[in-house]
Structure 1
Amino acid sequence: MTKTYKEPEPDFTYDPAIETTDPAVSQETAGHEANLAAAGQWKLFWLKFRKHKLAVVSLAVVLVLYLIAAFAEFVAPFDPNQTSATYTYAPPQRLQLFHEGQFMPHVDGMKMTLNTDSMRREFERDPANPIPVGFFVKTQPYELMGFIPMETKLFGPLEPGPRSPMYIFGADRLGRDIFSRTVYGARISLSIGLVGVALSLVLGVLIGGISGFFGGKVDTVIQRVIEFLRSIPTIPLWMGLAAAIPLSWPPLRVYFMITIIVSLIGWTGLAREVRGKFLSLRNEDFVIAARLDGMSEMGIIVRHLVPSFLSHIIAVLTLSIPVMILSETALSFLGIGLQPPAISWGVLLQEAQNIRAVSQAPWLLFTPATAIVIAVLSLNFLGDGLRDAADPYGKV
């Protein structure tokens, strides 16, 4: 009895949608692949970055935060140091767009009474006396960024005065507007991240590049110094360096000194990143060709090696900015960083840590903490997207 051979059935089902013979689709795919083949480094970087939706949204948030910080005088409705003895620890007022069915941006008025038992001011909403709020309102003359004269604010009460209180985020122990102080605090807290990262960039690329490019004893000495710095507990080191700042220094000088202190520790991680890249690239053909062409060692580092992985450096620096912001916040919160009259998110947190503020005005702690969380998370998500886009093995 002979057995007939039977062709085994395939274990898959043919789907015509998988393979298309449409010439338009094939031509579009071929064109896309041709564009990718001819695209430069930065175009590929952008194509991969825009696929990271969360990173794109975070980029928009970061841009808005830095615009607010840059134009703080225009965004903040009041002077951050303007006090009011009547409205100390006033609660937040909700901004409303309609009143009695009509479009009228406003906040409800407030009634203040003194509780004779607790000897505290108590505030109640007064919807019957709304306080109209307008956009691009006229105010007292001020200077935008310190040198541009202006008389217009982004928004504020149409009739500013002691009888028209407007505290979107509440008031502190001196009756100062927390929203305005948070906006002004963004300028120092966000800029200290940029300045600190700029200093870390110079130190990290220079020292890490020398370590990875030359190797040998130079690499050994630099790596031992980095390991020593990274082995020191961060907070005690900051406290020791910040304690050396004279109390008589003006706030601006203290600001720059805090930035330098933060940068002295932040460069070590970037230096190791750069060292690893230099070790992998220093024997490549383009480096050897540049050396044979007579280019100096520093010229090879600056003109060839660093630009070859600049996108990776940008991603690392973006992830370093939140560390700088949190460092300044921690130092100021502990009372060894920036001090009043300077305004930063860390200073606002430091002013909100007394028992009375926590029990009577929790928004003093909540508002700057929320701003810090939004800024740090947005920068972290942005850094993740930049890091994925800088990955040479990632798909476009």
Structure 2
Amino acid sequence: MNVDGAMQANLQGAAVAARQTSGVAREWRLASRTVRFSAICLALFYLLAAASPFFASYDPTYQNREMPDCPPMSLHMNAPSDWSRGLFYTHPMRMQDPIARTFVADTSRRLDIHLFTRGHLFTTDSEREPYFMLGSDGLGRDLYSRIVYGSRVSMCVGLIGVLISFSLGITIGALSGYIGGTVDFLIMRWSEIEMSLPSFYFLLALAAVIPSGMSTVATFFMIVAIMSFISWAGFARIIRGMASSVRSRPYVEAARALGASRWRIITRHIIPSVIGYAIVAATLSIPGFILGESALSLLGLGIQEPAASWGNLLAQAQDVQNLARYPWILIPGIFIFLAVMSFNFLGDHLRDRLDPATAG
């Protein structure tokens, strides 16, 4: 009997896992190509953030003063007879004009690129002779490595900020909508005051008071806390309206009649009824956090040098002359664009799938 029971439990577990797998596969098939591409982009960006030391070729703070503003370097494949040296190689760059900072490739020499060496996906033998896949910045730092490390800040700020602001918004909004009365009045008036403030200028004012000597980690969490403090009010108002309509439904009245406490009704009935909207709204709000952090870092009020974020990597692009001479410094902006658009497309897809009127 025990053996039969164990076999039956294993079969049930396998059936549940198969249903979950088939559900994920079905959602993937139903998604458009744009949504699939967005999901792949976001998965790649978070993989870069989680394993930055592996994907980055060099130390993001190392300055190669002999190669400032170096353009992206070409990549070539070795002949099969030379694969013992490496699969790929490039020609090292040398500065042709120190004043104009122009470079030419030294085709007489080969610089071997090694895969899975010294804990990196790809790198060269020395930082003094680097392979700049996306070029270098004005201090000779590898732009690709700084973009990889910058993904830690730019991709995580959205998740942590949404987690804080939407936790506050759901809790406060559900409490206000269910209890009503004076509590509802005070919470809604406070949220209206916050919503009446111009959010970006208010964010600038709050970020300006961050002490300049704070560490990068402390600055990061200060920015997240400030942005979460600004963004919870609008979400709480929407949740409050939804909670007000839910509290008169039969299952909520039945729970109240059976003696359930306010907290139990809010956590077991009110919040689960609005969680579908919360997931969609959270996904659509993440781009706002990414853009907010990028704007602050671009203006020098966010993550400071030598730490990297996609926002402060664009600081050099504020000079039109630099932009005309070194167009590759705009590459971090492409990553910001892809991340923001990917979250928007994914949020639209989730909204369509979770909306009962449109879900298939």
Q: How high is the sequence identity, in percent, across the aligned residues?
A: 38
Query: Residue 287 and residue 47 in structure 1: after superposition, are their counterparts in 2 closer, same or farther (change >3 A)?
Result: farther
Aligned partner (choices 58, 80, 86) of residue 60 of structure 2: 80
- Flag the structure with higher strand content: 1
What residue number does 2:7 align with? none
What residue number does 2:255 align with? 290
Q: Which amino acid aligns with 1:391?
A: D
Contact 1:50 1:56 in 2 (8 A): no
What residue number does 2:271 align with? 306
What residue number does 2:30 align with? 51
Structure 2 gaps, min length 5:
1-18
What residue number does 1:228 align with? 193
Contact 2:88 2:114 in 1 (8 A): yes
- Flag the structure with higher helix content: 2
Contact 1:45 1:390 in 2 (8 A): no
CA-CA distance at 1:356 after TM superposition: 5.2
Q: CA-atom RMSD, angstroms?
A: 2.4
What residue number does 1:155 align with? 122
Contact 1:48 1:389 in 2 (8 A): no
Query: Residue 60 and residue 109 in structure 1: after superposition, are their counterparts in 2 closer, same or farther (change >3 A)?
Result: same
SS in 2 for 1:154: strand
1:318-371 Cα deviation digits (max 9, x unpaired): 11111000001111111222211221111111244245532432212x111011
SS in 1 for 2:263: helix
Under a length normalisation based on structure 1, what TM-score does the superposition of the two structures give? Answer: 0.79
Further displaced range: 98-107 or 202-211: 98-107
What residue number does 1:254 align with? 219
Distance, in Å, in 2 between the alignment partners of 1:122 and 1:198 is 46
CA-CA distance at 1:302 after TM superposition: 0.9
Q: Does 1:63 find its partner at 2:64?
A: no
Q: Does 1:172 find its partner at 2:155?
A: no
What residue number does 2:11 align with? none
Query: Residue 395 and residue 379 in structure 1: after superposition, are their counterparts in 2 closer, same or farther (change >3 A)?
Result: closer
Distance, in Å, in 2 between the alignment partners of 1:289 and 1:329 is 48
Contact 1:106 1:131 in 2 (8 A): yes
Under a length normalisation based on structure 2, what TM-score does the superposition of the two structures give? Answer: 0.86
SS in 2 for 1:111: strand
Distance, in Å, in 2 between the alignment partners of 1:287 and 1:179 is 54
CA-CA distance at 1:107 after TM superposition: 2.3
Contact 2:69 2:140 in 1 (8 A): yes
Aligned partner (choices 169, 172, 181) of residue 204 of structure 1: 169
Contact 2:52 2:149 in 1 (8 A): yes
CA-CA distance at 1:47 after TM superposition: 5.6
Q: Which amino acid aligns with 1:372?
A: I
Distance, in Å, in 1 between the alignment partners of 2:93 and 2:61 is 21
Structure label with greater radius of gyration: 1
What residue number does 1:373 align with? 337
Q: Does 1:113 find its partner at 2:113?
A: no
What residue number does 1:245 align with? 210
Q: Which amino acid aligns with 1:114?
A: D
CA-CA distance at 1:178 after TM superposition: 0.3
Query: Residue 202 and residue 318 in structure 1: after superposition, are their counterparts in 2 closer, same or farther (change >3 A)?
Result: same
Query: Residue 50 and residue 306 in structure 1: after superposition, are their counterparts in 2 closer, same or farther (change >3 A)?
Result: farther
Q: Which amino acid aligns with 1:273?
A: I
CA-CA distance at 1:45 after TM superposition: 10
Runs of 4+ more than 4 Å apart: 43-50, 98-103
Q: Which amino acid aligns with 2:50?
A: A
Structure 1 gaps, min length 5:
1-38, 139-151
Q: Does 1:391 find its partner at 2:358?
A: no
CA-CA distance at 1:205 after TM superposition: 0.6
Query: Residue 291 and residue 50 in structure 1: after superposition, are their counterparts in 2 closer, same or farther (change >3 A)?
Result: farther
Aligned partner (choices 327, 336, 339) of residue 301 of structure 2: 336
Q: Which amino acid aligns with 2:121?
A: L
Contact 2:42 2:339 in 1 (8 A): yes
Contact 2:149 2:309 in 1 (8 A): yes
